């Protein structure tokens, strides 16, 4: 296992609020339609719909309402994809009121998680530390699923002791952990 | 003056990581001050990447990608600039952005879109042997992204 200090862990700057990429009426109308669709999925509790529409909207208009990044981040968080959660939260302009309680989630990802890269054969079994925090538990379960299904994993995991294909892997706060089987 | 410095640094370079970092410092200076020096400074960095046998760290790989993102942005290739930004983020997610990369740019918008695709779809390919991919030992690499690939003890390849 290789660990590297992430000395600039908090050095990520986000973009300021910016105007839309196009003022074309059709473009703005499509942005509005996708925004409404995403919020409808949110009201209906359809997480996969939220994420699918968010991706379509991001491809159409990356300078969207910051609230939508937060909604999509929450959907990724519920699935346990901590890395995608962080990426989406980093798209929220600094100081945006849309961030709400997700600011604490972002801080938690930056402070209590490590950056993990795994190279293993498909079907590899992985275990992680017992976590009572549902977000942390979900992140571990997500990684276990990806490693089993795909072998390779790239993402954030809560600090703790893991076993990947019988090999120990220690994940430390704000550090990088690599394991190759 | 920068020309002379570049010539001297290249002539006496010893293919160490320190030499590579020095070449990157020179490129950073050229990017911020002397447009004419950018091309030779870029070539100096590329030579240093190709000749070192020391392992390039993830932090250094991220710095290289951030710098090349600025170069691609300046040559009006936002797609390639965005690919370097994603590669930098994946090499070291918390690395500092390059001061010469504007926040509001097409490259930054493409970066968000590409980053989302890479994280959500996880497009990867297997590597035949253990390789340091942007400083991380691995047997796979993310598809269609620039990367510094280095087999243990060997000189790197800068795939772009």
For the stretch B17-67, pLDDT in tens is 999 999 999 999 999 987 889 999 999 999 999 999 899 999 999 999 999
Domain co-membership, B106 together with B130: yes
A152 close contact with B: CB closer than 8 A? yes
B51: Cβ contacts below 8 Å, ≥ 6 apart: B13, B15, B155
- The structure tokens listed for B50 are 């190709």
End-of-domain residue from the set B17, B35, B51: B51
pLDDT surpasses 60 at A12: no
Percentage of chain A surpassing pLDDT 70?
91
What is the rounded average pLDDT for all residues in chain A? 89
Q: Considering only the top CATH level, what class is A25-108?
A: mainly alpha
Helix ranges (H only) for chain B are 2-11, 17-33, 38-51, 58-74, 78-91, 106-121
Domain co-membership, B134 together with B71: yes
B75 close contact with A: CB closer than 8 A? no
The pTM of the full predicted model, rounded to 2 decimals, is 0.89
pLDDT surpasses 70 at B4: no
Domain co-membership, B10 together with B75: no
Domain co-membership, B70 together with B126: yes
pLDDT surpasses 50 at A3: no
Domain co-membership, B66 together with B107: yes
Which of chain B's residues have a Cβ under 8 Å away from the Cβ of A59?
A: 113
End-of-domain residue from the set B36, B51, B66: B51
Inter-chain contact A59–B113, Cβ cutoff 8 Å? yes
Q: Look at the block and give the residue holding tokens 């993830």.
A: B58
Instruction: Give CATH 1.25.40 domain extents, chain A.
Output: 25-108
B80 close contact with A: CB closer than 8 A? no
B151 close contact with A: CB closer than 8 A? no
Q: How many helices and strands in chain A, by DSSP H and E?
A: 6, 7
Q: What is the ipTM of this complex?
A: 0.86
| Domain with B80 in it | 58-159
B58 close contact with A: CB closer than 8 A? yes
The residue-averaged pLDDT of B120-149 equals 95
Inter-chain contact B95–A150, Cβ cutoff 8 Å? no
Q: How many domains does chain B have?
A: 2
Which of chain A's residues have a Cβ under 8 Å away from the Cβ of B86?
A: none
A160: Cβ contacts below 8 Å, ≥ 6 apart: A128, A129, A131, A170, A171
Inter-chain contact A178–B59, Cβ cutoff 8 Å? no
């Amino acid at each position: 296992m290789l660990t590297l200090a992430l000395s600039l862990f908090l050095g990520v700057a986000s973009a300021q609020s910016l105007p839309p990429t196009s003022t074309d009426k059709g473009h703005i109308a499509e942005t509005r339609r996708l925004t409404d669709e995403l919020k409808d999925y949110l009201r209906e509790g359809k997480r996969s719909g939220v994420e699918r529409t968010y991706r379509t909207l991001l491809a159409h208009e990356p300078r969207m309402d910051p609230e939508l990044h937060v909604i999509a981040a929450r959907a990724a968080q519920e699935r346990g994809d901590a890395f995608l959660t962080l990426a989406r939260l980093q798209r929220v302009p600094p100081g945006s009121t849309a961030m709400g309680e997700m600011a604490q989630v972002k801080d938690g990802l930056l402070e209590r998680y490590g950056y993990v890269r795994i190279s293993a054969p498909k079907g590899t079994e992985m275990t992680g530390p017992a976590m009572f925090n549902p977000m942390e538990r979900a992140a571990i379960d997500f990684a276990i699923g990806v490693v089993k299904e795909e072998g390779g994993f790239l993402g954030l995991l809560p600090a703790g002791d893991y076993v990947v294909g019988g090999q120990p892997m220690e994940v430390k706060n704000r550090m990088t952990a690599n394991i190759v089987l | 003056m920068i020309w002379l410095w570049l010539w001297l640094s290249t002539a006496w370079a010893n293919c160490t990581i320190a030499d590579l970092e020095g070449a990157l410092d020179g490129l950073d200076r050229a990017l911020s001050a002397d447009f004419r020096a950018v091309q030779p400074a870029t070539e100096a960095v590329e030579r240093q990447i190709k000749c070192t046998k020391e392992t390039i760290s993830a932090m250094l790989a991220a710095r290289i990608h951030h710098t090349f993102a600025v170069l691609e942005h300046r040559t009006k290739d936002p797609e390639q600039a965005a690919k370097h930004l994603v590669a930098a983020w994946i090499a070291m997610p918390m690395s500092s952005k390059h001061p010469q990369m504007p926040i509001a740019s097409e490259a930054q918008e493409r970066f968000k879109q590409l980053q989302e695709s890479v994280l959500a779809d996880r497009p990867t390919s297997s590597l035949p042997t253990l390789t340091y991919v942007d400083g991380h030992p691995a047997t796979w690499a993310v598809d269609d992204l620039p990367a510094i690939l280095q087999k243990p003890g060997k000189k790197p390849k800068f795939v772009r």
